[in-house]
Chain A
Amino acid sequence: MTKQPVPNKKGNAVHTLLGWLKGYVLIAPAIILLCIFTIYPIFWQIQSSLYDGSLLSKKRNFVGLQNFANLFANPDFGQTVGNTIFYSVGVVIITIVLSTLAAVWLNGEAQKRLNGLTLAAIFTPHIISLVSVTTIFLWLLDPQIGAINYLLKSVGLPTCPFLASSKTSMFALVLMMVWKGTGYYTLLTVAALQGVPKDIYEAASIDDTPGWRVFFQITLPMISPTLFFSTIVCTINSFQVFEPINLMTLGGPANSTNTLVYQIYSDAFKYLKLGQASAEGVVLLVFVLVLTVIYFAFLGKKVPLSMRKGEGHYGKSKYRADSALYPQRGEHRLQAAGDFHCSLSVPVDGLHRVQTL
């Protein structure tokens, strides 16, 4: 639906100006706050990374890129960045794979009653505070009194030191955060699966497409926009990990769980090195910006090419789409895109014309 201009009864310039101003007045409070607390600190941070001095010093001297040179010369910082990348890659891969499998299973028809309950249950960790989650896991993972080691011992398996060893500490954190995050991404993926038009599956079943091909050639491409969104959001969130480290390991043992945000926090508030903390903040900013740019660059290409407006092939089936398919976007995007027609021509029984919303 295109927006009709509102007929202006008086039609004079003052009235138009007021109408134009009104919108800006209404968004002003939000924009001002966003500028103060989001936009301005970014530029200040970049400027601050070029100066030395501590959190308490009144006057700071310009040192150019010295802070960055110090960072990259320091092997500990290299390890911190490596830890952050290891943690993020681990969390993202395991979370996305687990949540996709869980979502496909939960989308099945066979155990409908159980599905709602299971989804509610695996989503619960996501809304629990990290303070509580880390407390429980500190107890579960404790080498002496922990329940997991107790279980391992009782079935005769070797115990694991978890957080007490630099070899396993980061892995233990990854497992905990996968447990906490999987429910959320499962929820998103289930919503995406419910948006996939049933007709495509019907066409596939008429073609006798085997199950694994349906999964890889229909299900995965159709939910790929959501998976892509999940992957980016999960990566950005993982890069900012702070709470588990501050609450469980304090970066140790032997720097093995130190991450970027925890490093910024300790440099700024424990060692009061403002310049260095700002430089680390800029490094984190670059990582986040790159991910955001990747996200927006692909946003326009959300739907696999074969499902775009026009004619094409989808597996064995031919299709013609009068307008682009946006199965993942929920009702909003569908309404914005106007009437949603999808014609699917199937070799066996001719042409279906379906309207999906």
Chain B
Amino acid sequence: MIPQQVTFVLVYLIFSKAKMLQSYWPQILPFIANAFGIFLLRQYFLQIPEEIIEAARMDNASEPKIIFSIMIPMAKTALLTIGLLSFISLWNSYFWPLIMTTKNTYRPLAVGVAMLKNVDSAIPWHMLMAGNLFLTCPILIAYAFANKQIRKAFVYSGIK
């Protein structure tokens, strides 16, 4: 439960020492391991009856086959939940990419839209609003089509 806002300076130094700041990696690597995702999937795997797995072992199914044809299909809901939550939070994120990027080449949309404001002293409202439309549209469209799933995913995020 230690948030990234506590240690970001040192994580920046890690990437700086590894000469990775001029790449997308600082925005990707820290988010690959997702403790909440591991927890949720484990909960799902624990619910799969042991008999099914044993039956597969009796039929000489290999371990990877058991994982890919039994465990993962049965945890589809959990995978969808993790996918939705990760997508929404990463698409919206501003703090992390702001710190981990020094060049526009690697900056995501949220940072770019926020930078529209800094062009000169007067705020170019028309540009800013147009940029924000691009930023919010994908999320709102996804929410319009899958609002039940998205809300369910966020309820799961609260049962840590």
Contact = CB atoms under 8 A, between A and B. Distances in A.
Does B bind A?
yes
Nearest to A286: B6
Among B14, B110, B155, B159, max chain A CB count under 10 A is at: B159
B129 interface: yes
Given A22-B63, A120-B147, A131-B94, A285 B125 contact: no
Interface in A134-184: 135-136, 138-139, 184
A264 B11 CA distance: 13
Given A131-B132, A135-B129, A139-B125, A332 B43 contact: yes
B3 A240 contact: yes
Interface string B13-46: 1100000000000000110111100100001001
B61 interface: no
A44 B2 contact: no
B69 interface: no
A292 B132 contact: no
Interface stretch (A26-34, A200-208, A310-318): A26-34
Contacts of A86: none
A261 interface: yes
Given A6-B57, A243-B94, A335-B47, A128 B6 contact: no
B3 A41 contact: no
Secondary structure of the A side of the interface? helix
Contacts of A55: 13
A184 B88 CA distance: 14
Interface string A274-310: 1001100100110011001001000000000000000
Interface string A223-258: 000100110010011001011001100000000000
B7 interface: yes
Number of contact residues on B: which range applies?
35 or more
Contacts of A191: 155, 158
Interface string B55-97: 0010000010000000000000000000000001001111100
A287 to B, nearest CB: 9
Interface string A4-15: 101000000000
B159 A332 contact: yes
A38 B54 contact: no
A281 B9 contact: yes
Given A127-B139, A131-B113, A236-B1, A37 B151 contact: no
Given A127-B92, A242-B5, A269-B99, A48 B113 contact: no
Contact of B135 (A36, A132, A335): A132
A304 B131 CA distance: 49
Nearest to B30: A37
A269 B136 CA distance: 29
Contact of A188 (B7, B91, B158): B158
A34 B114 contact: no
Contacts of A188: 154-155, 158
A41 B114 contact: no
Nearest to B156: A330
Contacts of A40: 14
B135 to A, nearest CB: 5
Contacts of A265: 8, 99
Contacts of B1: 236, 288, 292, 295
A329 interface: yes
Nearest to B115: A131
Contacts of B8: 264-265
26 contacts: A4-B50, A22-B63, A33-B33, A37-B11, A41-B11, A41-B14, A42-B6, A45-B6, A45-B9, A126-B154, A128-B140, A129-B93, A129-B94, A129-B139, A130-B92, A131-B92, A132-B135, A138-B123, A184-B158, A188-B158, A229-B160, A236-B1, A278-B9, A284-B6, A292-B2, A329-B159
Given A37-B14, A229-B158, A240-B5, 19 more contacts: A37-B29, A37-B33, A41-B10, A45-B10, A123-B154, A124-B140, A127-B143, A129-B135, A130-B94, A132-B135, A135-B117, A188-B154, A229-B160, A236-B1, A240-B3, A265-B8, A268-B12, A278-B9, A284-B6
Report, nearest first, the 4 A-B pairs whose CB atoms are least far apart: A129-B92, A33-B33, A41-B7, A240-B5
